[in-house]
Structure 1
Amino acid sequence: HRITAVRSVVAGQFAGLSDILHDLSLEFAAVEGYDEARAERVIEALSAEGLTVADCSCRTGEISGMTVEIEIVVGKKTALSKTLLLRVVNRACGRYFESPELSFEGDRARVVMCEMPLYDLEIGSAQHVCDNGELCGDCLNYFVNGAGSTVALISDGMGCGGRAAVDANMAVSIMSKLCKAGLSYDCALAVTNSSLMIKSEEESLATMDLMDFNCFTGRVGLMKAGACTTYIKKNGKLMQKEMPSLPLGILNEARFSKEDVVLTKDDWIVMVSDGVMIGSPEWIERLILTWREGSAEQLAAQIVKEAQKRRKNDHDDDITAIAMRVVENG
């Protein structure tokens, strides 16, 4: 039985490799084109500042704005100022960019600058460990994926304590690394699921709750594998996104349940683990709806605090909340 299970997982890994190659082809196809005129203006402007530019490209994507990549020849006395680079490229391209990322190899400096998106997220998070223990069976993470989106993740391992913590942290760690590397969420989920299934002979289950916020368009992609409700406050009205699905570690093929919604300034997204869902959900709905002045960090902390209070007469559990408010850049 074990050999059959391993064969099935290995076959799934090969299918996953095929999906990775497919994702790479889609990423190349998503590049709308290269703006050679702007690249020439950037080279001329930097040369006027005394810098030697070996190469420059201005790449535009479907939903990620413009990305400028510059290769500059540097010597021992060459000093690169991020402020100077930002000012020059903003003026040459006629757009606003985020602070440049610099890397060096030999006598070359690589500069990468991404166009500043319309929106950003104010993010706050809070957790409570079951019975005030040392290891939390929930794991969370959030990051900017380099393609114009902010990504937030929550995974809830089966039960509490060390074993649940290992499963949840493993799921979030693998998923985060694959997403940052540019893989699609479906492909990353398949690899994460396979990893949990072959981790040990004992059953390893973990939920996966993923939110992708496109900072250029305001589109929110909600993806769930066994995760509980996400709350969306849009234009002062609350929506509950339950999206039934199975957690990771059960079947060879894991699938997300998906929904999209478009948000604008001052809309909210609240993700929680199932430790929050005690009794009637009216209290958390009322809390989110009436939240006006406090920060995202304060809202997440208040949700966890209220959930702890309501668990006093019930068994304790790990509790996690991530609160996110849409804000405009600039």
Structure 2
Amino acid sequence: MTERMGVLSSDGRCLQPSPLAARAMLRPAARRLAAVGVGFAGGWAVLYGALMPFGLGLTLGLAEDCFAPCAAGAALGLLLHGLGALSLRSLCQLCALGAAVAARWLLPQRFVPAALAGCGTLTGMALCFALGSSGGADLLLYSAADALLAVSIGFGLRKFAPERPGMGTLLVGAAVAAALGSVRWGWFSPGVLACAAAELALCCRAQRFAALSGSAVLGAALCAADPALAPAAAGLGCATAAAAVLAPGRRVETLAAYAGGCVSGVLCVQPPGNAFGMLFSACGGMAVVCLLPGGWLAPAADISQSGENAPAPARSAAASTRLEAVAQSLSSLAETVNAVYEGLPRRREGFRWVIDNVHDTLCFNCGRRETCWKQEYTATMAGMEALRPLLEQNGSVETAQLPGQLSRCIHPAALCAAAGRSFALYRSRKEARIHSEAMRTALTEQYSAVAEALGVLSEQLGRPGDPEPYKSSRVAEFFTGLGAPPQECAVTLDDLGRTHAAVTLPRTRFTPQELAALAGEVGHICRRTLEVPQVLSCKGMTTLLFSERPALRAVFGAASAAARGEVSGDAVQQFCSPTAAQMILCDGMGTGRPAAVDGNLAAELTARLLKAGFTAELAARLVNVALALKSEDESGATLDLISVDLYTGTARLFKAGAAPGFLVHGGRVRAVGEATLPMGVLGGVNGQSRVVHLTAGDYAVLVSDGLLVDGAGWVAKQVELSAAAGDAPEKLAETLVETARIRAQKTGRPDDITAAVLRLEKSG
């Protein structure tokens, strides 16, 4: 049963469209609106009655899409905090915000220039005002302290994004707590209420470490904003400790523990009369938590212990171990079969076996046996050996064809019949032995190739990459919000720092537009540009594999001309896997339909094996076995393969019996490849591998031997000219094939002609 993203009625009609587009539009707006609010809190917050570092610090540290709204909110907070009165401190802060925003616009992703611009402007203006006023020393001192604190806050936010639980979130929370802590309406303190609600919510969700660290930082921010709130901070700290230790994750018990700890903490440091206002505000925070939906406070383990993320490396390690064990078992099985075969006694069955069988079946009961096989043994053996060419040529012997040494036989007709039967039996046994040996070779070759493939896969699973727990949880929350909670979700970084995400869902169908929207949303969460995901469906589950967009992209082109008729023995496969561009050219032996069967079989099977994760060498070994066992007739095909890593430009070439290929790098062309045997001829593959490096603008050209009818010189020149002109791969392939066809007609040596072209371009 499949689902579609969106709300469906009982009869399958779509009642409303997929929310992907709406979320894609609303999320950036929500982020910027939140940045305005955080910036306003940072501009409003004043520490110890003199320091104002949060506005500039948040502007320096927030992400590229949020720093400008944050600066606008901070400017508004600075202006409203002084009720419209523009002091020298506020003027310096506003100018510093403007300088930091300008620096971040001009030099994105650069922290040092923005920090120098903002903090330099702040201290420089304070110095200018200090030289012309009596209280300038205090202004310069406070501005320098603001600059130092702002740099620290901005640096912390750059290293620890506020979206990720940790220091970044605590810094933003401290700014909000400091802003709210400076506001008092009689007994009511909104800062105490907000801190109590946040800490209690974390305790209800069983996030004890986050709650304890939050209570410490938020309490410090409250005290810095208003020293009179120190008893409230102490009470909230005691309440959080009680709830986190005694009853984490149980809502009612957590509320009771938090309330008891809060009352005890406040009364220990403040008289009952003065503690009433603090407790009133804390009770307001607890009431807010009580009104929240139950789903928002569902217990959740810490990110580091998340069941969705933490077991992934363990599962990968277990799967890697099991695959390695299977690989070793298959390899041992192949070695055992070969060892047993080598240890068996060899049956040296030559033509002597035919002679012995004739003696045992005919001559053993004959009255002249003693005379023929003892007294005239030499003559009898010479006569029997003389039968060998006749039997090998005709398969039987006539009475008139018996040699003179056997003319004395008293049963000539029976002798001819016995010789024919014995030779037929000998030939069938020989063919069976050859066939069984071929089957054994094929079996052990398959076992060995699959064992090596499983070993490679085991090594890959053993290196799953560095997990990104926070991003994994964010991606899982995103899919849950779409109404498709994932069974598994993992975001990892590989050895080269590339981001990969795997999301397993119940069986779901996606349109191309939805897949593109998912790539954009997941990429926004992971802060990477991702390719459209690869969709794998199996056993009621759908897995989406996201990969970071590579630096290069491949453009393919191919052209072909049959030697006779419309059927060509050449076959081409061109496709892109998530990380590499693959191009395959197989040339079946001969021309016409038989060659087409071999060529297409080799190309199609190689492509499937490469998509499944097999290397070129292993794929060639399995294809070689398939061709050898395809039929009794001799089958063979060349294999010409190039695989280009689209992230690094590393190209791996593999040739088995294929014609030389051509590479264009830096505008210069060179031929690659040497003469080898095709697949399907021998028990093993006699192939060649080579590794080269390509960049954007380079070409790779694979050709069949029919295109080289007049040698490789003109092909190299044509490829170099076309590459210099920037011809499209399709045009270059057609030019090569058409020119080769004309040349072949002049020489009178027709053959199948094929050219496959790949060009690398920068990924846009």
Which of the residues 471, 488, 492 maps onto 1:59?
Answer: 492
- Write out per-residue CA displacement over residues 241-273 of structure 1, whole angstroms, 9 at most, x where no aligned residue: 023322101211114201111111111111101
1:88 maps to 2:525: no
Which of the residues 114, 136, 144 maps onto 2:576?
Answer: 144
Query: Structure 1 residues 13-22 or 250-259, which shifts more?
Result: 13-22
Identify if the C-alpha distance between structure 1 residues 254 and 101 changes in structure 2 by more than 3 Å, giving closer, same or farther.
closer
Identify if the C-alpha distance between structure 1 residues 101 and 156 changes in structure 2 by more than 3 Å, giving closer, same or farther.
closer
Query: Structure 1 residues 254-263 or 204-213, which shifts more?
Result: 254-263
Which of the residues 6, 26, 38 maps onto 2:459?
Answer: 26
Greater relative contact order (Cα < 8 A, sep 6+): 1
Identify if the C-alpha distance between structure 1 residues 227 and 287 changes in structure 2 by more than 3 Å, giving closer, same or farther.
same
Query: Structure 1 residues 61-70 or 195-204, which shifts more?
Result: 61-70
Q: Secondary structure at the match of 2:607?
A: helix
Q: Secondary structure at the match of 2:636?
A: coil
Q: In structure 2, what is the Cα distance between the partners aligned to 1:65 and 1:12?
A: 35
Offset at 1:31? 2.9
**Counterpart in 1 of 2:562?**
129
Q: In structure 1, what is the Cα distance between the partners aligned to 2:481 and 2:596?
A: 55
Does the CA contact (< 8 Å) of 2:554 and 2:761 recur in 1?
Answer: yes
1:7 maps to 2:440: yes
Question: What amino acid is the match of 1:138?
Answer: D
Does the CA contact (< 8 Å) of 1:186 and 1:255 recur in 2?
Answer: no
**Counterpart in 2 of 1:317?**
751
1:177 maps to 2:590: no
Q: In structure 1, what is the Cα distance between the partners aligned to 2:539 and 2:595?
A: 45
**Counterpart in 1 of 2:551?**
118
Does the CA contact (< 8 Å) of 1:104 and 1:110 recur in 2?
Answer: yes
Q: Which residues of 2 match residues 177-326 of structure 1 at below 5 A?
A: 177-291=608-722, 292-313=725-746, 314-326=748-760
Q: Secondary structure at the match of 1:151?
A: strand
Identify if the C-alpha distance between structure 1 residues 30 and 123 changes in structure 2 by more than 3 Å, giving closer, same or farther.
farther
Does the CA contact (< 8 Å) of 2:587 and 2:599 recur in 1?
Answer: yes
Question: What amino acid is the match of 2:619?
Answer: A
Does the CA contact (< 8 Å) of 2:571 and 2:603 recur in 1?
Answer: yes
Does the CA contact (< 8 Å) of 1:64 and 1:216 recur in 2?
Answer: no
Identify if the C-alpha distance between structure 1 residues 64 and 178 changes in structure 2 by more than 3 Å, giving closer, same or farther.
farther
Which of the residues 13, 16, 22 maps onto 2:449?
Answer: 16
Question: What amino acid is the match of 1:145?
Answer: S
Q: TM-score, normalised by structure 1?
A: 0.90
The number of equivalent residue pairs is: 325
**Counterpart in 1 of 2:28?**
none
Offset at 1:45? 4.5
Q: Secondary structure at the match of 1:260?
A: strand
Rg comparison, structure with higher value = 2
Does the CA contact (< 8 Å) of 1:71 and 1:111 recur in 2?
Answer: yes
- Write out per-residue CA displacement over residues 50-84 of structure 1, whole angstroms, 9 at most, x where no aligned residue: 764443211333469322122457999xxx93344
Q: In structure 1, what is the Cα distance between the partners aligned to 2:719 and 2:435?
A: 47
Q: In structure 2, what is the Cα distance between the partners aligned to 1:49 and 1:157?
A: 50
Offset at 1:183? 1.5
Question: What amino acid is the match of 1:320?
Answer: T
Identify if the C-alpha distance between structure 1 residues 226 and 101 changes in structure 2 by more than 3 Å, giving closer, same or farther.
closer
Offset at 1:47? 5.1
Identify if the C-alpha distance between structure 1 residues 101 and 24 changes in structure 2 by more than 3 Å, giving closer, same or farther.
closer
Offset at 1:301? 0.4
Q: Secondary structure at the match of 1:17?
A: helix
Q: Secondary structure at the match of 2:574?
A: strand
- Write out per-residue CA displacement over residues 13-50 of structure 1, whole angstroms, 9 at most, x where no aligned residue: 22223223223212313432322222123234555667
Offset at 1:144? 1.8
Does the CA contact (< 8 Å) of 1:243 and 1:258 recur in 2?
Answer: no
Q: Secondary structure at the match of 1:276?
A: helix
Query: Structure 1 residues 205-214 or 94-103, which shifts more?
Result: 94-103
Does the CA contact (< 8 Å) of 2:520 and 2:529 recur in 1?
Answer: no
Does the CA contact (< 8 Å) of 2:644 and 2:651 recur in 1?
Answer: yes
Question: What amino acid is the match of 1:300?
Answer: A
Does the CA contact (< 8 Å) of 2:520 and 2:530 recur in 1?
Answer: no
**Counterpart in 1 of 2:531?**
98
Identify if the C-alpha distance between structure 1 residues 164 and 287 changes in structure 2 by more than 3 Å, giving closer, same or farther.
same
Q: TM-score, normalised by structure 2?
A: 0.40
Question: What amino acid is the match of 2:606?
Answer: M
Identify if the C-alpha distance between structure 1 residues 142 and 84 changes in structure 2 by more than 3 Å, giving closer, same or farther.
closer
Q: Which residues of 2 match residues 62-73 of structure 1 at below 5 A?
A: 62=495, 65-72=498-505
Q: In structure 2, what is the Cα distance between the partners aligned to 1:106 and 1:156?
A: 37
Offset at 1:216? 0.6
Q: In structure 1, what is the Cα distance between the partners aligned to 2:608 and 2:714?
A: 35
| Root-mean-square deviation over aligned CA pairs | 2.5
Offset at 1:85? 1.9
- Write out per-residue CA displacement over residues 141-169 of structure 1, whole angstroms, 9 at most, x where no aligned residue: 011233x0111111111110111111111
- Write out per-residue CA displacement over residues 75-119 of structure 1, whole angstroms, 9 at most, x where no aligned residue: 99xxx9334422321111111011234567899754332211110
Question: What amino acid is the match of 2:531?
Answer: E
For structure 2, the 5+ residue unaligned runs are 1-433
Higher strand content, 1 or 2 = 1
Identify if the C-alpha distance between structure 1 residues 37 and 206 changes in structure 2 by more than 3 Å, giving closer, same or farther.
same
Does the CA contact (< 8 Å) of 1:154 and 1:210 recur in 2?
Answer: yes
Does the CA contact (< 8 Å) of 1:137 and 1:159 recur in 2?
Answer: yes
Q: Secondary structure at the match of 2:440?
A: helix
Which of the residues 290, 308, 327 maps onto 2:761?
Answer: 327
Q: In structure 1, what is the Cα distance between the partners aligned to 2:507 and 2:630?
A: 47
Offset at 1:171? 0.9
Does the CA contact (< 8 Å) of 1:71 and 1:110 recur in 2?
Answer: yes
Does the CA contact (< 8 Å) of 1:56 and 1:70 recur in 2?
Answer: yes
Offset at 1:215? 0.5
Does the CA contact (< 8 Å) of 1:63 and 1:217 recur in 2?
Answer: no
Q: Secondary structure at the match of 1:189?
A: helix
Identify if the C-alpha distance between structure 1 residues 63 and 152 changes in structure 2 by more than 3 Å, giving closer, same or farther.
farther
**Counterpart in 2 of 1:154?**
585
For structure 1, the 5+ residue unaligned runs are none
Q: In structure 2, what is the Cα distance between the partners aligned to 1:139 and 1:216?
A: 27
